[in-house]
């Protein structure tokens, strides 16, 4: 599958995160990464900067390897994947993620892999 545009990637990304538990781990990782990033900036701490990266990716990758059982999109599309992690997180916080999930063919309460694969 060749992805040419960010919109194509975004729909692919959402399908790779069909399981609510996987998305939950992503939210935890994104929130933790943002808190640690803020602390790293305030305290000028390279250690906390590294911890932010580990927290964000660690939680997300656990979700992929143990729950979704797929390969994280980060390995093929690192920048679009990072952008999408935060896009998904902030859409979820704002209560607007379900609309995007439906657009990707995922029902709000769906567990497991997307039916569109």
All structural domains of the chain with their residue ranges:
6-103
Distance CA 41, CA 30 (A): 16
The H or E element that residue 47 is part of is helix 46-62
Length of the chain counted residue by residue: 117
Residue identified by tokens 């093929």 is: 76
The pLDDT profile of the chain, 117 residues, written as one tens digit per residue, is: 789 999 999 999 999 999 999 999 999 999 999 999 999 999 999 999 999 999 999 999 999 999 999 999 999 999 999 999 999 999 999 999 999 999 999 986 554 444 333
User: Contact at 8 Å (CB) between 19 and 111?
Assistant: yes
Number of neighbouring beta carbons within 10 Å of residue 34: 15
Distance CA 67, CA 17 (A): 10
Return all residues near 79 (Cβ < 8 A) that are at least 6 apart.
none
């Amino acid at each position: 599958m060749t992805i040419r545009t960010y919109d194509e990637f975004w729909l692919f990304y959402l399908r790779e995160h069909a399981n609510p538990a996987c998305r939950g781990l992503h939210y935890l990782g994104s929130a933790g990464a943002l808190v640690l990033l803020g602390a790293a900036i305030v305290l000028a701490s390279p250690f906390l900067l590294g911890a932010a990266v580990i927290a964000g990716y660690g939680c997300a990758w656990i979700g992929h390897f143990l729950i979704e059982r797929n390969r994280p999109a980060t390995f093929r599309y690192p920048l679009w994947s990072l952008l999408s992690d935060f896009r998904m997180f902030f859409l979820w916080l704002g209560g607007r993620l379900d609309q995007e999930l439906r657009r990707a063919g995922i029902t709000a309460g769906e567990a497991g892999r997307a039916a569109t694969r």
